[in-house]
Amino acid sequence: MRKIFPIVIVVLLALTARGGDEKTIDQLKAEAEHAEAGQQGRLYAELAGRLVSVADKQFTDGESVKGHATVQEILQYAGKAHDLAIQTRKKMKETEKALRQCRRLLENMRRTLAAEDRPAVEAVEKQLEKLTEDVLESMFAPPNPKKDQK
């Protein structure tokens, strides 16, 4: 009994610590809304990636209308991440990686969908690819000088 008790305690502590690291989508949305501009882009990109699993579950459950709405929400958050990363020029690499991962997850999900659901998801996937490329290109571009200067 003495040998089992410490093992049980360690297992319980590990499970509670792991559960605390995982944020819900609503918590991530709230954190992204209140974060600093540099951090916001990365959080929005992470949120878009998390929403792919929600959309996948909705499509799997036969709720394709909700799935398409979630896919549009993914595009909305990815667009915010793109805009903030380029505007602030902070956390650009993390944002680009998160957007690339989101596109890959969306591509994998699209392959499992019914034929009538694929074109809309593929269009969003292509838009995500464009957003990712824009962030990547702007990472290596020099910052824009102020337009007011002549």
Please check whether residue 102 is in contact with residue 45, taking contact to mean a CB–CB distance below 8 angstroms.
Answer: yes
Instruction: List C-alpha distances in Å: 29 to 21, 34, 62, 89.
Output: 15, 9, 26, 21
The predicted model gives 71-81 an average pLDDT of: 93
- Average pLDDT of the chain is 83
User: What is the pLDDT at residue 18?
Assistant: 44
Per-domain residue ranges of the chain: 22-139
Percent of the chain's residues with pLDDT above 90: 50
Residues listed for the chain: 150
- Between the two ends of the chain, the Cα-to-Cα distance in Å is 80
The tens digit of pLDDT for each residue in 89-145 reads 888 899 899 999 999 999 999 999 999 999 999 999 999 999 999 989 988 877 665
